[in-house]
Structure 1
Amino acid sequence: MKKSIPLRIRFKYHKIKESLRISYYKKLGLKAGSGLKLGKIRCKWPNNVLFGSNCEIEDGVLFKTVAPWSGDNMIQLGNDVFVGADCQFNACAKIIIGNDCLIASNTTFVDTSHDNVAGIPINKQACTFETITLEDDVWIGTRCAVLKGVTIGKGSIVGAGSIVNKSIPEGQIWAGVPAKFIRNR
């Protein structure tokens, strides 16, 4: 009969793997404060990613910067930010997340889009970029999409499955496709 590995040994093993993962990304240029909990992420250009202190990033999160040598595009998370599994951060400009934010699993941030001039193939059209900003204390529900140029105000909440294509003022709850005002918090 096969013996199971005690829970405390498995816990230590996972902490060592996490520590090695953090060291690896820091050597590649990732900037992070203390207390980082880092799952198995995907990130080709960690030098354009900044995590504040006490962030928790679950497995499968993608941090994608398109032109890392430009110095203009970056992904920045404040202190005490939680990012759920399988989220995507696609930055051609900037994605800035404030302090104390909660981002549920499978949420996508995209700060770019294509023009749509008739008569020109879509893949030949110019792209436009605009920064996405989440101010402090924002909660984004699962499977949301936050699009270019959006600012979500301090203390606001976005309901699960929403597509946010315009800015949300401070202290409001929005939901839907596209997201619409539901009520004040």
Structure 2
Amino acid sequence: MNQIRTGILATNRAIAGLNSRWRNLYYRSLGVKLHGYIWMRQVEIPRNFEDIEIESDCALDRGVVLLCSGEPLPHPKIHIRANTYINRNTFIDAIESLTIGKNCAIGPGCYITDHDHGQDLTLPPLKQPMIAKPTQIGNRVWIGANVTILKGVTIGDRTIVGAGSVVTRELPSDAIAVGVPATVIKYRGK
């Protein structure tokens, strides 16, 4: 019985690997800049493919959405650096510049953006102009499940953001931050 189970698991892994390779070829052909092999499990990139750059050895799990809107820019709107893992059902939404550093771990169900809408009282919500500020996540950052990171935020290297937090302002390197809004509660190694 264990041999059958082992065989089924091996077959499932092989199929998942082939599907991931097919997604690499498909998104490359549409203009996504993929450097090396990227592990992709049922990832969704609905448009503006040329605005996305992903470096080698990254993994994007099931249900990850990479969405770029607006006119093309001379630089990638979403740039994911090498060896980063993005867990299930995370939504990354950019119109200007959203960078995720090397060796990061992003938990499931996160929302990361570089923009929001204006607040003009004379306009209905869907007619509001978009307001963008670059969002940057440093290297070796660990983001817990269901974290929201808003526009204009910089998260320093090696910082940990606790599950369910909402990051509304800069977090320094080596910090541990939690809450709504996320607040530094201590520093790593201290």
* TM-score for both structures, normalised by structure 1: 0.91
Distance 1:78 1:70 in 2: 19
Equivalent residue of 2:93, what SS?
strand
Is 1:175 the counterpart of 2:178? The answer is yes
Aligned residue number for residue 165 of structure 2: 162
Is 1:103 the counterpart of 2:103? The answer is no
Aligned residue number for residue 60 of structure 1: 63
What code does the residue aligned with 2:23 have?
Answer: R
Distance 2:174 2:29 in 1: 39
Relative to structure 1, the CA distance from residue 8 to residue 108 in structure 2 (aligned partners, 3 Å threshold; closer, same or farther) is same
Instruction: State the number of aligned residues.
Output: 183
From 51, 66, 70, the equivalent of 2:54 is: 51
Question: Which 5+ residue runs of structure 1 have no aligned equivalent?
Answer: none
Per the TM alignment, residue 156 of structure 1 is displaced from its structure 2 partner at its CA by 0.6
* TM-score for both structures, normalised by structure 2: 0.89
Identity %: 26
Is 1:145 the counterpart of 2:144? The answer is no
Equivalent residue of 2:102, what SS?
coil
Equivalent residue of 1:167, what SS?
coil
Aligned residue number for residue 22 of structure 1: 24
**Alpha-carbon contact 1:65-1:73 (below 8 Å) kept:** no
Per the TM alignment, residue 68 of structure 1 is displaced from its structure 2 partner at its CA by 4.8
What code does the residue aligned with 2:159 have?
Answer: S
Per the TM alignment, residue 72 of structure 1 is displaced from its structure 2 partner at its CA by 5.3
